[in-house]
Amino acid sequence: MENLQLILPEIFIALSIMFLLIFGVFKKNSSEIIQNISLLVLLVTAVIVFNETLDVKKITLFNGGVIIDYLSSLMKIITLLAAFIVLVISKSYLKIFKIFKIEYPILILSSVLGMMIMISSNDLMVFYMGLELQSLALYVLATFNRDQLKSSEAGLKYFVLSALSSGLLLYGCSLIYGFSGSTNFDVIANELNSNEYVLTFGIVFILVGLSFKISAVPFHMWAPDVYEGSPTSVTLFFTMVPKIAALTVFIRFLYVPFLNLIDQWQMILIFLSIASMLFGAIAAIGQKNIKRLAAYSSIGHIGYVLAGLATGTNEGIQSSVMYISIYIIMNLGLFSCLLMMKRNNEYYEDIDDLSGLSKNHPLLSLSLLIILFSLAGIPPMAGFFAKLYIFKTVIEQSMYFLAIVGLLSTVIAAFYYLRIIKIIYFDKEKEKFDTDHGSWLKFSLTFSTILILLYFIFPTQLVQVVSRINII
Amino acid sequence: MNFPIISALILLPTIGSIFLLFSQNKNENTVTVKYVALFTSIVNFILSIYLWYLFDRTTSDFQFVEDRIWLEGFVNYKVGIDGISILFIILTTFITPLCILSVNNSIKTRLRDFLIAILIMESFMIGVFCSLDLIIFYLFFEAGLIPMFLIIGIWGGSRRVYSAFKFFLYTLLGSVLMLVAIISIYWITGTTDVIQLYELGIDAKYQNLLWLAFFSSFAVKTPMWPVHTWLPDAHVEAPTAGSVLLAAILLKMAGYGFIRFSLGLFPIASDIYTPLIYTLSVIAIIFTSLIALMQEDMKKLIAYSSVAHMGFVTLGIFTIQQQGIEGSIIQMISHGLVSAALFFCVGVIYDRMHSRLISSYGGIVAVIPKYSVLFMLFTLASIGLPGTSGFIGEFLILMGAFKDSFLVAVIASLGVILGAAYMLWLYKRVVFGKLVNKDLEKMIDLNHSEYFILSCLAIPILFFGFYPEPLIDTIEVSVKNLIDTYNLSLMNK
């Protein structure tokens, strides 16, 4: 038990959740304090992860059920920081809807705990435990604005479909257990007999479950409705944080026990990737609601991440992690703008509400311009470099078809991003939006915009960070 | 020689635009904004002339090369110039101040934003012409879409949204295949550095596909028939300064790309695909000239004439003759000046009468004589009358073409006649004849800034028409070297 400090972050967060729950019950009107403590907890946890585990090479705990390595530590830090930003900028939004309650930060903390367990899992059971913990918290978060019909609908839909996918996932786990005799990733890797075709079924079932969690086509149906119905701050959380955890599991599941079966799952991944890229791009064209559009856009971006994973190399994983990090920053910027779209404390979500924004709010629209061009992958914004590295690894493996389809779908995707820019810059102006935004919201918008715009000056830093990921 | 002069050329307009961004815009103090932009672009012009002065004409090596680590282990920030690129850089820095001068009359709203877009555009365009790394080239090539999209979309005419989208998506679609090709080159050879690639050469078995991928991008940008349809739309809807930038410089990126990359990197494939280029060029010359004859919109007519002229350029490049390529480069420079001047001319009367239709003009020679004289000069330069720079270019291209293929040259020569037909007919209908409209009598002749802009363009057109030596002198060694390496790699095949 000498290595217990390695899971100190998880222990710390779990204890904090319990403390906050009790604290919230006994002290009335404590949402402000609990919010602040939660923020502090997230930051402290990030610091603990940074100090204790970032330099750990590779250690497994609890009979190999939990793994601590560079990938897990990095992803945990990204998760914690992303959750921190979401929590800090959602306060004013929640206050306007009068749902600024103690449960919100606690639910975010518990889902983050679930994600951290997922990220560190090296065993199907541990992984499932983490997945369910985060999902349960997310169901409640989706319905958080329970007086609104759409929010309840979103939560219910998410719950039903997610439960279905969890069922498939569990079935896959049981198949794999049946044919390899263990749930531990390392043991499975050793026991693996590639002639067992039923194992492939197990992989497929688990891939379906995981694809559902990251909303890859054709398991994306829940995403637009849930994204639209949930409160905007929760949508922001959905588009960023759970994807990091699910991506990590995706990487570990495919590359630790089943690397030898790459012939079996590579085609599936290529299909998922192409379908997501194309569908995300095409379906987004007709959208009117920005949150729905963000859902389709995130489906498209997940396609690029999967393209990196489909290569079956360390470089592929690195480029995927890089892509998702840049995507998170772009998404943060996009949603910060979305959270600024209010007039007299009423939020607007339609793309048409942005009409002529550039005349009334030149700086806000300039930021949106930069973020949208970056999402479209136009140089010199950060989004271009993310795509560049993905396609670099894809072409290295001579997967030209995937690369060309991917790049063509960026052209289709460029169309709908341009449409928003057209509405902002070319159309007639509407009423002004409020300008009394919290300083954190302004900070997150400025921060993400500057990072995206000036990324090209120091492009190697992020590459160096991800280049230490070494799974194979 | 440690001063990074090329990076300074690229960065200066961007720095100027940052100044503009933070300038106070409350009093609508447009004069200051304009002077800042003008000052920046003129300093940049002087810097580029100084660069031309420092430039060593006796060597074909790349000069003023800067090489910095950028994306570690992948791409280096590498820029430099040779005889071919320097002329395009000077063309860019020369046209930009004129565009900024012209905004007085045509841009009514959001002047500051417009100037920022123009200056950023200038940075990207210079970047395209001096990048010595494929990824850097792609970066600048693509990034130029953003300001141009905004220029067409915000300040354009009635169908501006359609045109801006068409421009952006057409070009992007062409370019993404080039990105695939660039990354493939990286995996085949291990570098994207152009100088190293020139030395290493690319294996013949890959060249065909790579050439086609680059071609898809350059053909759209040139634009070659049949993917030229975005150009007339973009030209018609863009504001005057936008049309000028588009015609004078953006189209030249592709011609430059053909010379630098298609010929330089894929000689074997270029040899194979020369008939394709010839066919498309000849069709472009004849077909778009015929279309130009039928146009009723002046800007559209000039846009189609641009397609025809660029047809000559691509024809000349792929003759792989000293004259042909030199002619193409001079034709590009000349077309840059002449088309810019013609768009300014259309802009002048559009600002007064708010119509681009040929039929709404006629007989304006008596009302605005100064304008008519200059317009005449540019019309003749566009036709390629001896004594104007247009003649030198077309003549050299046809000479190169005759050496290579008699038939192609003869058909292309027919295009020259058609070119004379549509331009002179345009001039006749607009300037001569009877006054069709009472309002035309109230037109005012050129004001000082317009007179200055048009004279600035007229001087080099005439000067290089009579004395092209400075241009040929600059490009000669580089072109010769290009052709030598080209022939050498064909022999080693």
Contact B171, B218 (CB under 8 A): no
pLDDT at A373: 92
Residue A421's domain spans which residues? Answer: 258-472
Query: Which tokens belong to A142?
Result: 């989706």
Contact A430, A341 (CB under 8 A): no
Instruction: Determine, for residues A407 and B164 on separate chains, whether the beta-carbon distance falls below 8 Å.
Output: no
pLDDT at B24: 64
Whether residue A447 lies inside any domain: the answer is: yes
- Which CA distances in Å does A269 have to A204, A247, A262? 10, 13, 10
What residues in B contact A361, CB-CB < 8 Å?
none
Whether residue A304 lies inside any domain: the answer is: yes
Whether residue A417 lies inside any domain: the answer is: yes
pLDDT at B364: 82
The low-confidence residues of chain B, meaning pLDDT below 70, are 1-2, 24-30, 105
What residues in B contact A392, CB-CB < 8 Å?
74, 183, 186
pLDDT at A272: 92
Interface mutation vs chain A, best among B148, B161, B183, B185, most A CBs within 10 Å = B183
pLDDT at B65: 85
- pLDDT tens-place string over residues A194-210: 666 778 888 899 999 99
Q: In chain B, which residue's Cα lies nearest the Cα of A398?
A: B184
* B187 in A contact zone (CB under 8 Å): yes
Whether residue A379 lies inside any domain: the answer is: yes
Instruction: Determine, for residues A418 and B179 on separate chains, whether the beta-carbon distance falls below 8 Å.
Output: no
Question: Is pLDDT at A14 greater than 90 in this prediction?
Answer: yes
What's chain B's length in residues?
A: 493
Our count of domains for chain A comes to 1
pLDDT at A319: 92
Q: What are phi and psi of B68, to 5 degrees?
A: -130, 150
| Closest C-alpha among B278, B265, B287 to residue B316 | B278
What residues in A contact B137, CB-CB < 8 Å?
none
Q: In chain B, which residue's Cα lies nearest the Cα of A421?
A: B150
DSSP designation for B441: G
Whether residue A383 lies inside any domain: the answer is: yes
- Map tokens 């012009």 to a residue: B45
- Which CA distances in Å does B181 have to A79, B138, B240? 36, 11, 35
C-alpha B428/C-alpha B424 separation (Å) is: 6
Nearest chain A Cα distance for residue B155, angstroms: 9
Contact B254, B218 (CB under 8 A): yes
- pLDDT tens-place string over residues A294-338: 999 999 999 999 999 999 888 899 999 999 999 999 999 999 998
* A465 in B contact zone (CB under 8 Å): no
Query: Which tokens belong to B121?
Result: 């555009």
* B179 in A contact zone (CB under 8 Å): yes
C-alpha B461/C-alpha A424 separation (Å) is: 41
pLDDT at A61: 85
Nearest chain A Cα distance for residue B135, angstroms: 10
- What does the H/E/C string look like for chain A? CCCHHHHHHHHHHHHHHHHHHHHHHHCCCCHHHHHHHHHHHHHHHHHHHHHHHCCCCEEEECCCCEEEEHHHHHHHHHHHHHHHHHHHHHHHHHHHCCCCCCHHHHHHHHHHHHHHHHHHECEHHHHHHHHHHHHHHHHHHHCCCCCCHHHHHHHHHHHHHHHHHHHHHHHHHHHHHHHHCCCEHHHHHHHCCCCCHHHHHHHHHHHHHHHHHCCCCCCCCHHHHHHHHCCHHHHHHHHHHHHHHHHHHHHHHHHCCCHHHHHHHHHHHHHHHHHHHHHHHHHHCCCCEHHHHHHHHHHHHHHHHHHHHCCCCHHHHHHHHHHHHHHHHHHHHHHHHHHHCEECCEECCEHHHHCCHHHHCHHHHHHHHHHHHHHHCCCCCHHHHHHHHHHHHHHHCCCHHHHHHHHHHHHHHHHHHHHHHHHHHCCCCCCCCCCCCCHHHHHHHHHHHHHHHHHHHCCHHHHHHHCCCCCC
Q: Which of A392, A415, A456 has the CB atom closest to B169's CB atom? A: A415
Nearest chain A Cα distance for residue B126, angstroms: 15
Query: Which tokens belong to B188?
Result: 């085949």
What residues in B contact A307, CB-CB < 8 Å?
none
Query: Which tokens belong to B367?
Result: 């009302």
Q: How many CB atoms lie within 10 A of CB B347?
A: 22
Q: In chain A, which residue's Cα lies nearest the Cα of B71?
A: A460
Instruction: Determine, for residues B70 and A404 on separate chains, whether the beta-carbon distance falls below 8 Å.
Output: no
To 10 degrees, what angle do helices A290-309 and A400-425 make?
A: 160
pTM to 2 decimals?
Answer: 0.92
Q: How many CB atoms lie within 10 A of CB A2?
A: 5
Contact B265, B202 (CB under 8 A): yes
- pLDDT tens-place string over residues A43-89: 999 999 888 888 888 888 888 889 988 999 999 999 999 999 999 99
pLDDT at A261: 82
Q: In chain A, which residue's Cα lies nearest the Cα of B169?
A: A411
What's chain A's length in residues?
A: 472
Q: Tell me the three state secondary structure of residue B357.
A: strand
Share of chain B above pLDDT 90, in %: 15
* A461 in B contact zone (CB under 8 Å): no
What residues in B contact A373, CB-CB < 8 Å?
146
Contact A52, A5 (CB under 8 A): yes
C-alpha A59/C-alpha A77 separation (Å) is: 18
Summary mean pLDDT of chain A:
89
DSSP H/E element including B67:
strand B63-71
**Distance spanning both ends of chain B, measured CA to CA:** 40
pLDDT at A426: 86
Nearest chain A Cα distance for residue B414, angstroms: 39
Whether residue A168 lies inside any domain: the answer is: no
| Closest C-alpha among B168, B348, B194, B349 to residue B256 | B194
pLDDT at A137: 92
Interface mutation vs chain A, best among B146, B175, B189, B212, most A CBs within 10 Å = B146
pLDDT at B25: 60
Backbone conformation region of residue B72, classed left if phi is above 0, alpha if psi is from -120 to 50, else beta: beta
Whether residue A217 lies inside any domain: the answer is: no
Q: Name the A residues in 311-340 with CB < 8 Å from any B CB.
A: none
Question: Is pLDDT at A263 greater than 90 in this prediction?
Answer: no
Question: Is pLDDT at A468 greater than 90 in this prediction?
Answer: no
Whether residue A227 lies inside any domain: the answer is: no
